[in-house]
Amino acid sequence: MFDILVYLYETYYRPDACPEPAALARKLSAVGFDDVEISEALDWLNGLTEMAGTTNPALESSGTRFYIAQEVDTLGSAAVGFIQFLELAGLLTASQREIVIERALALDESPVTLGKLKIIVLMLLWSQGKEPDALMFDDLFGSDEEDAAPRLLH
């Protein structure tokens, strides 16, 4: 499913440039994606669209977000830490954070890998027509492998 999401991000600059779901499914199938993965990706994107289309002014506060045990177990400590980093750096709003959490919890995976969480954040921004700034882009596309070469600080 995540290969499809990355493909959509790379292929369609904006979400409104995507064809309707039926035509998109045919295009994805023609490219070589599996029908089950296509269905999962389109369902997940539909959930993202529904969540991103709703706004809750109560979420735009400066309060602290406490995670319940089920969220921490499903997301994992690395994902929770990364979400907190993005929010504290001002790269995600409180409502965007909640959408990221909801979409990560919608996966049948526990814990959610950091790489997949980064794709979720990227797809959220894409769905809202927002481009990640340089810091966020570096964090989203930087390697999260433990044995990767260390980053150089300038």
Tell me the per-residue pLDDT of 117-152, one tens digit each, with 9 for 90 and over.
999 999 998 888 887 766 666 666 655 554 444 444
Is 83 inside a domain boundary?
A: yes
Is 44 inside a domain boundary?
A: yes
Is 14 inside a domain boundary?
A: no
* Number of domains within the chain: 1
Is 110 inside a domain boundary?
A: yes
Residue-number span of the structural domain to which 136 is assigned: 39-55+62-141
Is 119 inside a domain boundary?
A: yes
Is 34 inside a domain boundary?
A: no
Q: How many angstroms separate the Cα of 32 from the Cα of each of 37, 39, 45? A: 11, 14, 19
Is 73 inside a domain boundary?
A: yes
- Long-range pairs, 144-151, Cβ under 8 A, ≥24: 144/113, 144/114, 144/115, 144/118
pTM above threshold 0.85: no
